[in-house]
Chains A and B, each alone.
Chain A
Amino acid sequence: MIEEDILAKLISDKSGVSRSEAQTQLNELGVNIKSVVDAGEVFEMEGFGTFKKERNATVFEPDEVLQTEINQKYAGMRPIELIGSFKETAAAQPVEQVETPVPVEVEEVVKEPLVEISANGTEPPAEQAEPVVSIEDKKKVLQESSPPPPVQEKRGEKEAGESETGRASVVLIIAAIVAAILLAGWLLYSTGVFLNGKTARSVPVRNTQGVVVDNNVSNKPDGVANEDVSKATNAVYGLRGAVQPEAKDGFTIIVHSLWRKKHAFETLDAIKAKGYRALIQEANVGDQMYWRIGIGQFKTIKDAKKAIKSLPEPYKSNNFIKQQ
């Protein structure tokens, strides 16, 4: 609380009047106000306000200028009309509502003599999140007598002619188009147009010995088909099929070295989906943990090198052979 000495000091600092003088004048002011008011008269301070007695109690009416200054933050704000149903979405213009999302202090609420909605208990912040639309100012109620406020943009709430049902059918059409594109894409994928000659089967056909029988005979630029079959007959080792535990003493072709585990496993699945035998390894290089994805299992380095020739790019040019 600012009073006495501190108040005198502040006044002295501001006016250049000495502190003692300010103190004297403060006392004098208090006495003056009291005597005037007690006599039933009004004590007016220009630009500040008036003191008077109302039913035996001293009241202070702040001057308009003072009120506006105090309410600087919100001065010029006008009540905003809320719409009951929120059909119009994008037209919302939360005009100059600075504070709304956060109900700050817990001071008393000064009640005005108007009907209020039960919203008194509920915090209105949610209101601003929802579409709030203002209308042209036909409002006469709640006109503060403050000086002409800064231009407050009020837009009509009508969307440019778009009715509800019209919009719904547009959305439907778009959804149908998207669905058609996705369907077409899936069909193409399954007929192998996008792939490098291999079918999009995630589980390659095999016989009991784990030999991969590749049925797809579409054109293969690297002449892979034959090599596939020859690799496949080498049951334990190979480029395709499932990872064989017996082959773990061999070598693999590392085609990826990744940092993120999740990404690594996703890539692993992608490679398996292409029909390759793929495995994943952890490796520590310096401080960094890498997840390495290897293709195929081979008895010798020589076999691995041979297999590399049959790999598509980018694997063909970007790999190294590692012991499993």
Chain B
Amino acid sequence: MKSRAIALAILMALGATGCRIVPKNRRQHLADPTMQPDDDALRDKAHAKVHLAREGAAGGDGEPAGGGCGCSN
């Protein structure tokens, strides 16, 4: 019962964040280069390549899946 209440509270909090929170004239910090999701796309690709080739948990993230096969895909 308590865990359900906690889960519901989290869902409600997440739902509340869907309302307008940050007006456009207060987003200057969000535009900083370090805040971008792809601040260095080639670096992220290179790191992902290591994970893809040397770990078993590739796939499920919109990228071609390999993992554990020794191949470079």
The answer to whether A and B interact is no
- Partner-B contacts on A (CB < 8 A): none
- Partner-A contacts on B (CB < 8 A): none
